[in-house]
Amino acid sequence: MEFLVEPFNEGRPGPHVKAAIESFEKAGLNVDIGPFSSAVEGHVDAVADAVAAMIRQALANGADSIRIRVGPDAGELGISPLHTALVEMVSDAERTLGTNANEWDRSQKQAVVRQLHERGAFLLRGAVDDIAEVMGVSRITIYNYLNAIDGSAS
């Protein structure tokens, strides 16, 4: 099973993420924490029971949303390789905003860049150029958005 508890900040998991992980650990399941999602493997009954507890605990501790993908085995989940992760993150933002990336106004673009930054998208090689192209802005604009994010975090 693959899951993502949001909001998720790489290296700084909030109490909602910690509660989700603890739910699986209490069930005797090991969690493989990844940059775009985490994974758990185990017997279907153990995983199913742990998922119910995880949902309750994550929401009770401030989760905004929880995404779950389940398959008979981790290899069959179809977990995307890293080179498609960026496309999936942008598609997710398009679904959330209800518009295509080329229709976003400046504030929407800034919000999406912040979300992508928080999810580690800009750690991927070439991400700035790819995101700039999708949004129809220059790479300098993306760097300006990122600098503003970093400046507000200080």
* 49-96 residue pLDDT tens: 999 999 999 999 999 989 888 877 655 555 555 546 777 788 888 888
DSSP 80-128: PPHHHHHHHHHHHHHHHHTS-GGG--HHHHHHHHHHHHHTTGGGSTTHH
List the single range of 54-58, 101-105, 120-124 with lowest mean pLDDT: 120-124
- The pairing of strands 65-69 and 2-6 is antiparallel
Nearest CA to 88 out of 41, 23, 35 is that of: 35
pTM of the model: 0.51
Nearest CA to 66 out of 122, 23, 104 is that of: 23
List phi, psi (to 5°) of 141: -60, -45
DSSP 39: E
pLDDT of residue 89: 82
pLDDT of residue 10: 61
- Compute the C-alpha angle 109/106/148, nearest 5°: 70
When the pLDDT of each residue in the chain is averaged and rounded to a whole number, the result is 84
